[in-house]
Structure 1
Amino acid sequence: MLKISMAFFTAVSLIISSVVATAAFKFEKGDNVCLIGNSLPDRFNHDGWFEAVLQSELKGQEVIFRNLGFTGDTVKERPRNQGFPSPETYLKICEADVIFVFFGYNESFKGENGLESFMNDLSAMIDNYKKLKPNGKSEPRFVLFSPIAHENLNSPNLPDGAANNVRLEQYTKGIQAVAEKTGASFVDLFNTTKAAYAESDEALTINGVHLNELGNRHVAQIAAKALLGKSVKAGNDLEKLRSDVVDKNWHWFNRYRATDGNDVWGGRSGLRFVDGQSNADVLKHELKMLDVMTANRDPKIWATALGSNLKVDDSNVPEPVPVKSNIGGKSRSSNKNKEGNPDYLSPQETLKKLRVPDGFKVNVFADETMFPEMVNPVQMSVDTKGRLWVAAWETYPKWEPLKEMEDRLIILPDENRDGIADKAITFAKVHNPTGFEFWNGGVLVGSAPDIWFLKDTDGDDVADVKIK
């Protein structure tokens, strides 16, 4: 865990001391708060600091946060896979009382010529969402957040952000003007983060435009000052609360950004198999399970903020829909010729059937009978120490609610060089590990819809650094 000095908090307090939302904002007890926008809120999901800092001061108010951020989104363009519920549908699902809006960065690349159109689009969106009344009874309240500034990391591999910041400043002023026009609250993240970059001895972003953990802490404190009217420290004493938020966010993220969306909502969702059961029958029910599991974790967050320890109870989660197997020609899409024989040979039996050229020998290095966690391997690669790494996707096509998430990256060393793996080391559990590549002393892992950088810094072959 990153340790933060008191000097950091002092500098942050000085920077955000003048931050005030344009229109006074006040949380109400039981508020359902939705975050919408681009990669900025999307990335809040994984660190958890934004909500944790706010919840630490919202004791007893039982405020619910649901993150609808989606990398690449703009006010007008929010591309999704086929059948994905609309942004308006999700606001209704969440019964939003408050909407935190994070747009402007992606739109800023259109420059000054695109500013007026962006402001008009943002105003129209707010008007439409007011008419929508997603909570079913009243207009939502809005808080408009500006983009963060572009940090100059003084890297020859990255732009210095000077040109970007000219555009971002223009769009920050435009967002503030929209807030004043529509009666929304406004939080200036541009000028506050720009000042923070100058004050900080450490980088606050990974590439100039995406916050690292320290940067997320900082932005959480800026938001707290603007929305609560007081300085709140994103200190290590909030780690348990942050961990509870991350757990809740994990369940929500897998509901909102469910992988294998083609089977959930898209072209394969309506395929019917045994007794007419479809992919959607099974997978959309899992989304309902995740709704309940996510809601079960909100009281845990509230209790931790109050200094209590509440155990999550998932006994109210609906049972999963049993999947009916089509093996044996039990559906129109299956037959014996298509299926082959589902009784697989053991590795040793398979060896007997292999034919290799004279002088060559084949042996079993590792398999799931030796290491059960190696089920469903999707990629192998050898590191600089000669060790085999495997991406194992046990929960294909995606993690199933109420079960352990067992997807992982495995290291298989052969220390005595006998051609057989000695043990299996779980480097990290990674959902949907579709592929990986060694890089910069660690490994880049595809975990749809994200890419993670994982690294072991203490030599125990277990990742202790995880960066999106």
Structure 2
Amino acid sequence: MQHLHAFVTLCAWVLYIAPLAAQETNAAETLSMRDGDRVVFLGNTFFERALDYGHLETSLTLRWPEKKITFRNLGWDGDTVYGHSRAGGRRRQLFGDAEEGFQRMMKHLNSEKPSVVFVAYGFNESFDGIQGLASFQKGLNRLLDRLENLSRQIVLITPPAVVVHDNSLNLMLGRYAEILLETGRSRGHLVVDLFGDEALNAPAYRENGLHLSAAGYQKVAEIWVQKLKLPPVRIDLNNSRADKVRQAIIKKNTLYFHRWRPRNDAFVFGERRDEQKIAQKEPLQFEPYIEQQEQRIRKFLKP
């Protein structure tokens, strides 16, 4: 009877834990793309600098060339999960408040209707030190609450380690990266740990101690393949056709950047928008050119 009771208890435990294990496995297994997906890269300097090279988007595009997938890069240098960089300027002061920036970020995301979102934050927040950890956790959860209502798949990416003589920066950055990883996994999302990948610390992958080089972004694309279990590319990355795709992606992203971040931001979206109303119509004029590049990309993807 004792043996029977132990067996029943074991079975009950297995039945209890199996769905949880399956959920955790499914949460961090594979990135899938569907026809018609809208992918957004959301984050800080990591994604804004990726605009210059096009390797991340190209690597994903060449794995599903038969699918019509739209990519939009919403990276903003210096940004945080609180939306600091997206706050509008004010007369006699440099920035508006972070809450304004967060709401502006959410409005932009809502307009893009993303089905897949890559999130890269944590670097700038790490300068808040130990006292900022709880706020970062809260801010990250708040952002994910909103994103989960918008998209079906979320990928959280930790910042790469800093390559400098003073390792105290990495000690703190590691704490913030840990929060990203733990939060992503606990909420059932995909995660990519760049902080823990020492290969990215090689000089060839760095433009300086903080930022990745072109080769660094190529390396990140390779890391994504492994971490997200991506299918093989359908067009060889070293092929001239693949490079045409990448160049068209860079052009498209440059146009989109000026579409949503015009230099005369104050007159288009900010506090001076009533002074030059004609300026508010100018960003829309980028749309046909962006679509033209989208068509070029799809043309190069055809066999």
How does the TM-score come out when normalised to structure 2?
0.79
Q: How does 1:252-267 map to 2 (within 5 A)?
A: 252-267=256-271
Shift of 1:46: 1.4
Is this contact kept in 2: 1:55–1:302, CA < 8 A? no
Count residues in correspondence: 263
Please tell me whether residue 120 in structure 1 is matched to residue 138 in structure 2. Answer: yes
Cross-structure match for 2:110 = 92
Of 283, 288, 297, the match for 2:284: 288
Of 153, 161, 175, the match for 1:141: 153
Q: How does 1:129-208 map to 2 (within 5 A)?
A: 129-131=147-149, 133=150, 139-151=151-163, 159-192=164-197, 194-197=198-201, 200=202, 202-208=203-209
Shift of 1:292: 3.4
Q: 1:21 to 1:223 in 2, by over 3 A?
A: farther
Shift of 1:81: 2.5
Question: SS of the counterpart of 1:123?
Answer: helix
Return 286-295 or 61-70, whichever deviates more. 286-295
Is this contact kept in 2: 1:206–1:212, CA < 8 A? yes
What percentage of residue pairs aligned between the two structures are identical? Answer: 27
Q: 1:228 to 1:299 in 2, by over 3 A?
A: farther
Q: How does 1:9-408 map to 2 (within 5 A)?
A: 22-79=28-85, 80-82=87-89, 86-131=104-149, 133=150, 139-151=151-163, 159-192=164-197, 194-197=198-201, 200=202, 202-230=203-231, 235=238, 237=240, 238-271=242-275, 279-280=276-277, 282-307=278-303
Structure 2 residue identity aligned to 1:101? V
Cross-structure match for 2:3 = none
Q: 1:222 to 1:302 in 2, by over 3 A?
A: farther
Structure 1 residue identity aligned to 2:136? F
1:170 and 1:268 map into 2 onto residues whose CA distance is: 41
Question: SS of the counterpart of 1:209?
Answer: coil
Is this contact kept in 2: 1:218–1:234, CA < 8 A? no
Shift of 1:270: 0.8
Q: 1:21 to 1:150 in 2, by over 3 A?
A: farther
Structure 2 residue identity aligned to 1:255? R
Is this contact kept in 2: 1:36–1:68, CA < 8 A? yes
Structure 2 residue identity aligned to 1:29? D
Is this contact kept in 2: 1:49–1:234, CA < 8 A? no
Is this contact kept in 1: 2:119–2:155, CA < 8 A? yes
Question: SS of the counterpart of 1:122?
Answer: helix
Is this contact kept in 2: 1:150–1:161, CA < 8 A? no
Greater percentage in strand: 1
Question: SS of the counterpart of 2:156?
Answer: strand
Unaligned 5+ runs, structure 1: 1-19, 134-138, 152-158, 272-278, 308-468
2:227 and 2:27 map into 1 onto residues whose CA distance is: 5
**Computing the radius of gyration over CA atoms, which structure comes out larger, 1 or 2?**
1
Greater percentage in helix: 2
Shift of 1:160: 2.1
1:30 and 1:161 map into 2 onto residues whose CA distance is: 46
Is this contact kept in 2: 1:26–1:228, CA < 8 A? no
Question: SS of the counterpart of 1:26?
Answer: coil
Shift of 1:103: 0.4
2:237 and 2:136 map into 1 onto residues whose CA distance is: 33
1:251 and 1:86 map into 2 onto residues whose CA distance is: 20
Q: Which has the higher contact order (CA 8 A, sep 6+)?
A: 2
How does the TM-score come out when normalised to structure 1?
0.52
2:231 and 2:172 map into 1 onto residues whose CA distance is: 30
Unaligned 5+ runs, structure 2: 1-25, 90-99
1:224 and 1:286 map into 2 onto residues whose CA distance is: 39
Q: 1:303 to 1:222 in 2, by over 3 A?
A: farther
Is this contact kept in 1: 2:29–2:229, CA < 8 A? no
1:112-169 CA-to-partner distances (Å, cap 9, x unmatched) read: 44223312221121112334x3xxxxx4421100111112xxxxxxx42522222222
Shift of 1:234: 5.1
1:60 and 1:128 map into 2 onto residues whose CA distance is: 30
Q: 1:266 to 1:116 in 2, by over 3 A?
A: closer
Is this contact kept in 2: 1:22–1:185, CA < 8 A? yes
2:123 and 2:281 map into 1 onto residues whose CA distance is: 36
Moved >6 Å (runs of 4+): none
